Amino acid sequence: MENNSFPFLNFSSFVIPEDSLLPEPLPNQVVVTFLVLYLLIILLALFGNIPVIIIIGCLKKTRSVTDVYILSLAVSDLLIATLNMPFHLHFIVVNEWLTGGKVGEFLCKFTTYIQGITIVSSILTLLVIAIDRYVVICNLRAAVKIHTKKSANICLAAVWLISLCAIIPHLVFQRLDMRVKVRKIGPILLLDGFGYICAEFYPNDYGSKVYTAFTYGFLYILPVVIMAYTYGKISHRLWIHQPIGDILENPLHHQRVVLPKEKIIKVMIVVFLAFAILWLPFFTFSLYAEFVENKDATFRIKMAVLKLIGYSNCCVNPIIYTFLNKNFQREVLHLLCKNRVMKIHVQTTVGSTNTYTETIRRSKF
């Protein structure tokens, strides 16, 4: 059954149900475009998020609460780029799931499950960041108890636990399905073997619609609305409500305390907007397709394009940190300089005293 060298047979006199056929391959130009874009996003995500994880990991003493949350976002983005995107790219290129049997079934469930976990954990982490920033700026009394590393670790544990539980239906209803490969030569339909697809199969349409609506409403729209509200209140507090007299009377306090908070808020607002905008088309079209859209021949390419737009978010965050966060830029330079000094020191350990003195000078610089 799994042999792809199945002899060509003329099935033109039979009617094969459409849901028993493998989807038609995408045009070569489309496949090449997807291949280039997927590889570009994967590479950018790797070279962007790995330094973020390393840098924040090295900041043991000076690591802030916000850094802890950013570390969680970077891990989520890295998991999407390494454990999810390559398998979906393979399906786009080859037009069937990579293998059958128990291994294929496991990978089918695992990759889809990882995708759901990382997306949900990202949006919930962004939600926790927004609430944390709101408390710090708009409710200083509560911030003393809430804005701590211990609270941040507890919140992240809750975020990942909720993400693991909320996506369980993917483990239950995601499975492999054997399909017939056919090749059309004029009016003749030839059987070209069998292949697999990885898809959700609910017992009925009602279950699929309920879960899609739940995902869209409670795991995307509700967090986005709460974040929009909190950042709106924060923006009003920092840039509109703040008395100008305070700035004029105590400019040093404003420069030392308020300005750093404003910079952090700007970075996190951009991160939030990037996530919300890039994943909005995929979530919205998934809901639309579930209730309205007829899944015609263009459905697959529409979903592939919108999912690719969402995937691009996993390489956007490091770019935002690099261009908008001067502290992150300084830490990158510090890490590079530190590694360079350590390398020079190792090379000159058996060298002269003058060379070692030069290494110390570079270190201080």
The average pLDDT across 45-55 equals: 90
In a domain, 143, yes or no: yes
pLDDT tier for residue 242 given thresholds of 50, 70 and 90: low
Check whether residue 207 and residue 273 sit in a common domain: yes
Instruction: State residue 116's pLDDT score.
Output: 93
- Choice among 12-21, 41-50, 104-113, 354-363 with the minimum mean pLDDT: 354-363
In a domain, 3, yes or no: no
Q: Is it the case that residue 325 has pLDDT exceeding 80? A: no
Q: For residue 182, give the CATH number of its domain.
A: 1.20.1070.10
**In 3-state terms, what secondary structure has residue 4?**
coil
Rounded to 5°, angle at Cα 136 from 131 and 142:
90
Check whether residue 349 and residue 206 sit in a common domain: no
Check whether residue 244 and residue 100 sit in a common domain: yes
Instruction: State residue 364's pLDDT score.
Output: 34
Check whether residue 363 and residue 293 sit in a common domain: no
Q: Is it the case that residue 30 has pLDDT exceeding 60? A: yes
Smallest Cα–Cα separation from 230: which of 346, 96, 98, 129? 129
Smallest Cα–Cα separation from 26: which of 294, 298, 307? 298
Q: Express as a percent the part of the chain with pLDDT over 70.
A: 73
* CA terminus-to-terminus distance, the chain: 68
The average pLDDT across 340-344 equals: 43
pLDDT tier for residue 157 given thresholds of 50, 70 and 90: very high
In a domain, 91, yes or no: yes
In a domain, 171, yes or no: yes
Check whether residue 71 and residue 206 sit in a common domain: yes
Beta bridge partners of 179: 195
Which stretches does DSSP call E strand in 87-223? Answer: 174-185, 188-200
Check whether residue 280 and residue 162 sit in a common domain: yes
pLDDT, the chain, mean: 79
What CA–CA distance (Å, rounded) separates 148 from 142? Answer: 11
pLDDT tier for residue 228 given thresholds of 50, 70 and 90: very high
pLDDT tier for residue 335 given thresholds of 50, 70 and 90: low
In a domain, 4, yes or no: no
Check whether residue 68 and residue 38 sit in a common domain: yes
Check whether residue 272 and residue 351 sit in a common domain: no
Alpha-carbon distances, residue 43 vs 74, 112, 322 (angstroms): 14, 21, 16
**In 3-state terms, what secondary structure has residue 21?**
strand
In a domain, 15, yes or no: yes
Instruction: State residue 3's pLDDT score.
Output: 46
The domain in which residue 349 lies consists of 326-365
pLDDT in tens, 271-315: 999 999 999 999 999 999 888 866 666 888 889 999 999 999 999
Check whether residue 244 and residue 358 sit in a common domain: no
CB neighbours of residue 206 within 10 Å? 9
Instruction: State residue 341's pLDDT score.
Output: 43
Alpha-carbon distances, residue 3 vs 91, 96, 191, 331 (angstroms): 18, 14, 12, 54
By the 8 A CB rule, do 104 and 98 touch? yes
What CA–CA distance (Å, rounded) separates 352 from 227? Answer: 59
Q: Which residue has the higher pLDDT, 300 or 188?
A: 300
In a domain, 142, yes or no: yes
By the 8 A CB rule, do 315 and 81 touch? yes
Q: Which residue has the higher pLDDT, 11 or 72?
A: 72
Strand-by-strand arrangement of the 188-200 sheet: 9-10, 188-200, 174-185
**In 3-state terms, what secondary structure has residue 136?**
helix
pLDDT in tens, 4-28: 444 444 444 455 666 677 778 888 9
Check whether residue 135 and residue 282 sit in a common domain: yes
Smallest Cα–Cα separation from 109: which of 167, 159, 42, 179? 167
Check whether residue 287 and residue 172 sit in a common domain: yes
By the 8 A CB rule, do 13 and 203 touch? no
What CA–CA distance (Å, rounded) separates 205 from 18? Answer: 18
Check whether residue 165 and residue 224 sit in a common domain: yes
Question: Computed from CA positions of residues 198, 202, 203, 209, in that sequence, does the dihedral angle turn out positive or negative?
Answer: negative
Number of domains in the chain: 2
Q: Is it the case that residue 59 has pLDDT exceeding 60? A: yes
In a domain, 2, yes or no: no
pLDDT in tens, 79-120: 999 999 998 999 899 888 877 788 889 999 999 999 999 999
**In 3-state terms, what secondary structure has residue 52?**
helix
Name, in order, each residue with C-beta under 8 angstroms of 120's C-beta and a sequence gap of 6 or more.
Answer: 162, 163, 166, 167, 219
Token couple for 99? 């293998």
